Amino acid sequence: MTLSPLAPKGGFPDLPVIEGVTFAAIAAGVRYQGRDDVMLAHLCAGTAVAGVFTRSATRAAPVLDCEAKLGGDTSEAAAFVVNSGNANAFTGGRGTATVEAVTASVSQVLNIPQTRVFTSSTGVIGEPLDPARITNKLSELKAGLSANEANRAARAIMTTDTFPKGAFATVDGITISGFAKGSGMIAPDMATMLVYIFTDAKIAQPRLQKILSHLTDKTFNCITVDSDTSTSDTLLMAATGKGPEVTDEAAFEAALHGVMLDLAHQVVRDGEGATKFVEVAVTGAISDSDAHLVAMAIANSPLVKTAIAGEDPNWGRVVMAVGKSGAAADRDLLSISFGDILVAEKGWVSPSYTEEAGATYMKGDSLKVGVDLGIGTGVATVWTCDLTHRYIEINADYRS
Amino acid sequence: MTLSPLAPKGGFPDLPVIEGVTFAAIAAGVRYQGRDDVMLAHLCAGTAVAGVFTRSATRAAPVLDCEAKLGGDTSEAAAFVVNSGNANAFTGGRGTATVEAVTASVSQVLNIPQTRVFTSSTGVIGEPLDPARITNKLSELKAGLSANEANRAARAIMTTDTFPKGAFATVDGITISGFAKGSGMIAPDMATMLVYIFTDAKIAQPRLQKILSHLTDKTFNCITVDSDTSTSDTLLMAATGKGPEVTDEAAFEAALHGVMLDLAHQVVRDGEGATKFVEVAVTGAISDSDAHLVAMAIANSPLVKTAIAGEDPNWGRVVMAVGKSGAAADRDLLSISFGDILVAEKGWVSPSYTEEAGATYMKGDSLKVGVDLGIGTGVATVWTCDLTHRYIEINADYRS
């Protein structure tokens, strides 16, 4: 798979060690050959685990299992086990049995309660996942656990991704480090996205959960590649408590927000077939939720996304998307900008706008579409990419 | 523009004359060169006019004008004037002025009240439409009015269409005849679609309006090409009263339903880049509206549509779309079929299903995706097409 032209220039970051967390990855042959496809993260006793999951009505078995396990006793060690290649989704009773078999086996091999074993699966929907592929490798995975293997773990969970996604931050002596996968079936409610974030912070589970849920609404739920939502989306965060206590919550939240937004942006930058990274910023709506509706309608419009792919400053399609969003809008109060260029104001093309300026701006690979509805104070910002031939190629061929 | 492979084999039908209606078309150079781009329909005194319009919050000036004129006095003659090439949408005060200028001029030239002149415009959004392009040609259009020019009128309103769309029916001595344009920006709430239907039936305007609105929900609001909704969608129906009175309303409604569904299907068959015509039939939902939600989520999913383009029987993506629809669903009660092939039942692949049978079925150019939710009696059927490279080509180049 050719590297996305929007991949971060610096490559995968050198993720810092998080005290209390070790990683391993292995080629288990779940579906892919010749590459790692299972990762294990071991979390020390006392680790608080928080999570956010897809809101799909057809949630996969691993998601249902993870949801049920959040908020339990944290006194013993815990583990994350993730495989790529098979989503173990829509596999009926067998899906649940596979989760049971994998978590029981991890529990035994690592000597931790089964209620502390969290699994995720990503890949093909509707095909049975043979648990033996994973359980056969657990001893080997255990033997390979190391604080320095986050890089390999991040690669093992990739599917159509063209690059692994990592980010980290430090604040008040606390370290936060995370990685993610995802490039298609990406839309609010988290899409086919798996995200794992680790910190040595000392923080109670309910408090961590509250912060994580809140920040998800401002990050992963504000990105869309193709408006499709996965059955398997999972964000898990582990706080080992080996580092300082969280005292300045605002500072911790800001640092975590930075890591989550960075990872979310990287998912968009690896959007299937993407050649442009697009920020859609809506202001002046009657409410923040209306602003979000408008921003998502623009970010999901195939006509807007193909125009961007064609480097066409087609602001008429932005108007169309505002109109169809369902949000309150007044055509004659609408203003639109591309970057710093005012394109339209009060319902019509701005006298200062030239098609040439718009066309030149659209040649960039990082674009900003601004819409002011002029009727209130609601704001929202979302991120997306363009819709290109490559998206069709990837999805008319790849069986996901 | 290459003819859509899904175009009706018989070509444009030989539309019957409707007593009381005459047509003319002309090359006015609104935007296109060397082709008709304005059509005029003259409707005799006493004609009842009903209409249904886009629900976009950024409705174009001609739409707002038409809406305001419905339901008025029908004693005098009326006219439809439609141009392609420029949508006269998002043109601020100038848009309204253009509608005023065109309708005033038609009123004068045809000697009918301005309140009986209905205009539509389709094409580029956001560029001013010079009314003189149209008004300069009105005398010539008037001179060319003929009962036999429906074919030319249907062609004059095309934009990215690859074929003109027509359909007719007769019932109880009444004749119904209509034509439509539309191939992109097609989604419920009628999309960039213009539809004109004529009948010689004698029927009061409020009764006609009620039937038309009701049937729109079962036809044009059940098709989607790309989920995008236009600012200009217009369906106008004229009943001249020169033929028999509508006595058997059910029979009249059935005949009109046939014409509307035929035209709606033709719009999908001309969907930008379409190579497959797809019916999505949902049963067993808790309500009809939930069934519609599910059907539209499937029909609009880029991942489902690209899989169909790739002739991939990827029923996992259908599950995904059910899950994200927002409708009530139970993963383990879900059944899916492709045509007569039962693919999945009770939440997992059917024992009788083979990938080979699915793959063979997907090679057809007219496909049916069936989903039974197994939790109620709600049903809905919608129609869409696949998402192909050609869609990207058309929309990354064409300025609409």
The domain spanning residue A348 has which CATH number? 3.10.20.340
Beta-sheet pairing, A48-53 with A21-26: unpaired
Taking only the tens place, the pLDDT of each residue in B190-232 is 346 888 999 999 999 999 999 999 999 889 888 877 656 666 7
Q: How far is CA B207 from CA B44, B48, B218, B343, in A?
A: 19, 10, 17, 44
pLDDT in the model for residue A192: 66
Pairing label, strands A117-124, A165-171: unpaired
With a pLDDT cut of 90, the percent of chain A lying above it is 67
Nearest to B15 by CA among B175, B257, B174, B177: B177
Binding residues of B: 159, 181, 192, 272, 395, 400
Judge contact between B117 and B78, C-beta under 8 A.
Answer: yes
Task: Say which residues have a Cβ less than 8 Å from residue B14's Cβ, sequence separation at least 6.
Answer: none
Q: What is the mean pLDDT of residues A122-148?
A: 93
pLDDT of residue B397: 65
Contacts A344 to B, Cβ<8 Å: 90, 126
What angle (nearest 5°) sits at the alpha carbon of residue A75, between those of residues A70 and A81? 50
Q: What is the pLDDT of residues B327-376, one digit of tens each?
A: 999 988 999 999 999 999 988 889 999 999 999 999 999 999 999 999 99
3-state secondary structure B67-113: HHHCCCCCCCCEEEEEEEEECCCCCHHHHHHHHHHHHHHHHHHHCCC
* Minimum mean pLDDT range among A49-58, A243-252, B225-234: B225-234
Helix or strand (DSSP H, E) at B380: strand B378-385
pLDDT for the residue numbered A354: 93
Domain span holding position A364: 277-397
Of A47, A110, A46, give the one whose Cα is nearest residue A81: A110
Q: How many cross-chain Cβ pairs, A to B, lie less than 8 Å apart?
A: 218
CA A197 to CA A259: how far, in whole Å?
9
| Closest of A212, A226, A308, A192 to residue A260, by C-alpha | A212
Instruction: Give chain A's mean pLDDT.
Output: 90
**Is B388 assigned a catalytic role?**
no
Residue B272 lies in a domain: no
Predicted pLDDT of residue A320: 85
pLDDT at B398 exceeding the cut of 70: no
On whether residue A13 sits in a domain, the answer given is: no
A333 contacts A346 by C-beta, under 8 angstroms: yes
Distances (CA, A) of A203 to A61, A113, A209: 29, 21, 10
Assess whether A167 and A229 both reside in one domain.
Answer: yes
* pLDDT of amino acid B190: 36
B260 in the same domain as B298: no
Write phi, then psi, for B314 (nearest 5 degrees): -85, 80
**pLDDT confidence of residue A229:** 63
Tell whether B8 is covered by a domain: no
User: Is the C-alpha dihedral spanning B193, B198, B201, B202 positive or negative?
Assistant: positive
Alpha helix positions (H), chain B? 61-69, 92-110, 131-135, 138-144, 150-156, 205-218, 249-269, 288-300, 302-309, 315-324, 355-362, 389-397
Does residue B385 contact residue B302 with C-beta atoms inside 8 Å?
no
Q: Which residues of A touch B87 (CB under 8 A)?
A: 316
**Final residue of a structural domain among A269, A296, A313:** A269
pLDDT given for residue A90 in this prediction: 83
A292 vs A327, A384, A386, B57, B335, CA distance in Å?
A: 9, 13, 19, 16, 34
3-class secondary structure per residue, B256-287: HHHHHHHHHHHHHHCCCCCCCEEEEEEEEECC
Comparing CA positions, the residue from A319, A34, A389 lying closest to residue B389 is: A389
> Between chains, do B302 and A332 touch, taking CB under 8 Å as contact?
no
Vertex A266: Cα angle to A260 and A269 (nearest 5): 150
User: CA–CA separation, A31 vs A44, rounded Å?
Assistant: 30
How many Cβ atoms sit within 10 Å of the Cβ of residue B397? 11
What's the rounded Cα separation, in Å, for the pair B28 and B134? 6
B187 has pLDDT over 70: no
**Banded pLDDT at A166 (limits 50, 70, 90):** very high
> For chain B, how many helices (H) and strands (E)?
12, 16
Given A302, A310, A399, which is nearest B228 (Cβ)? A302
Q: Are residues B320 and B341 in the same domain?
A: yes
**B window 314-353, beta carbon within 8 A of A:** 314-317, 319-332, 334, 344, 346-349
β-sheet bridge partners, residue B283: B372
Asked if A230 and B126 come within 8 Å (Cβ–Cβ), the reply is no
Residue pair B2/B275 in contact by the 8 Å Cβ criterion: no
Question: What pLDDT is stored for residue B54 in this prediction?
Answer: 82
B5 falls within a domain: no
Is residue A159's pLDDT more than 90? no
Partner residue facing B231 (CB), from A56, A59, A323: A323
Could you tell me which residues are beta bridge partners of residue B53? B234
Single-letter residue type at B367: L
Other CB atoms within a 10 A radius of the CB of residue B315 amount to: 24
Angle between helices A315-324 and A288-300 (to 10 degrees): 130
Q: How many angstroms separate the CA of residue B110 from the nearest CA in chain A? A: 32
Judge if A240 and A295 occupy the same domain: no
**Residue B391 is assigned to a structural domain of this protein:** yes
Say yes or no for a CB contact (<8 Å) between B320 and A58.
Answer: yes
Same domain, B304 and B173: no
Answer yes or no: do A301 and A375 share one domain.
Answer: yes
pLDDT at A188: 35
Pair B148, B293 in one domain: no
Say which range, A56-70, A148-162, B272-286, has the weakest mean pLDDT: A56-70
Same domain, yes or no, for A241 and A309?
Answer: no
B145 burial type by CB count under 10 A (0-12 exposed, 13-18 middle, 19+ buried): middle
Q: Do B126 and A316 touch (CB under 8 A)?
A: yes
From the list B379, B257, B276, B336, the residue with the least C-alpha distance to B4 is: B276
Is residue A17 pLDDT above 70, yes or no? yes
Q: B206: which 2 tokens?
A: 């409020």
Split at pLDDT 50, 70, 90, the class of A234 is: confident
| Residue A27 belongs to domain with CATH number | 3.60.70.12
Model confidence at A189: pLDDT above 50? no
Q: How many domains does chain B have?
A: 2
Note which residues in 165-194 of chain A have CB less than 8 A from chain B.
184-185, 187, 189
pLDDT of B188 over the 60 cut: no
Rounded to the nearest 5 degrees, what angle is found at the Cα of A221, between the Cα atoms of B227 and A319? 40
* Packing angle of the helix pair A315-324, A302-309 (nearest 10 deg): 160
Phi then psi dihedrals of residue A382, to 5 deg: -135, 165
What is the rounded average pLDDT of the residues B156-172? 92
Give me the pLDDT at residue A185, please.
55
| Nearest to A205, CA basis, from A47, A66, A62 | A47
**In the predicted model, is pLDDT for residue A191 greater than 50?**
no
Handedness of CA A51, A57, A58, A61 (dihedral sign): positive
The span from the first CA to the last CA of chain A, in angstroms, equals 16
Q: Give me the pLDDT at residue A308, please.
A: 93
**Do A376 and A299 share a structural domain?**
yes
Contacts of B228 (CB under 8 A, 6+ apart): A301, A302, A303, A317, A320, A321, A324, B184, B185, B186, B187, B191
B65-116, pLDDT tens digit by residue?
A: 999 999 889 999 999 999 999 888 888 788 999 999 999 999 999 999 999 9
Helix residue spans in chain A (DSSP H): 61-69, 92-110, 131-135, 138-143, 150-156, 205-218, 249-269, 288-300, 302-309, 315-324, 355-362, 389-397
pLDDT one-digit tens code per residue, B9-28 = 889 999 999 999 999 999 99
The interface predicted TM-score (ipTM) is 0.76
For residue A208, the Cα-to-chain-centroid distance in whole angstroms is: 18
Of B88, B343, B367, B376, the residue nearest B232 (C-alpha):
B88
Is the pLDDT assigned to residue A69 strictly greater than 90?
yes
Q: What is the DSSP letter of B374?
A: S
Q: By three-state DSSP, how is residue A385 classified?
A: strand
Is B1 a domain residue? no
Please state, rounded to an integer, the average pLDDT across all residues of chain B.
90
- If asked whether residues A312 and A176 sit together in one domain, one would say no
Establish whether A159 is an annotated binding residue.
Answer: yes
Nearest to B126 among A319, A329, A393 (CB): A319
Residue range A77-99: mean pLDDT, rounded: 91
- Is A325 inside any structural domain? yes
Binding residues of B for substrate: 159, 181, 192, 272, 395, 400
Contacts of A388 in chain B (CB under 8 A): 392, 396
Using CA atoms, how far apart are residues A327 and A284, in angstroms rounded to an integer? 12
Rounded distance between C-alpha atoms, residue B295 and residue B223, angstroms: 10
Same domain? B259 vs B336: no
Q: Is A181 known to sit in a ligand binding site?
A: yes
**Mean of pLDDT values over A250-260:** 95
Q: Which two tokens mark B119?
A: 């205009």
CB of A331 closer than 8 Å to CB of A317 = no
CA–CA separation, B394 and A329 (whole Å): 29
A:81-140 residues touching chain B, CB 8 A cutoff: 87, 89-94, 124-127
Pair of tokens at residue A295? 């921003």
Question: Closest Cα partner for A238 from A76, A69, A43, A49?
Answer: A49
List, in order, residues 6 or more apart from B182 with CB less than 8 Å away.
Answer: B161, B165, B191, B192, B193, B194, B195, B267, B270
Q: Does A339 lie in the same domain as A216?
A: no
**Chain B: closest CA distance from residue A26 (Å):** 27
Q: How confident is the model at residue A187 (pLDDT cuts 50, 70, 90)?
A: very low
Which 197-226 residues of chain B touch chain A by CB within 8 A?
Answer: 226
Residue that terminates a domain, selected from B245, B267, B289: B267
- What is residue A361's three-state secondary structure? helix
A225, A240, A269 — which closes off a domain? A269
Block residue for tokens 């640092």: A255
Q: Identify whether B260 is part of a domain.
A: yes
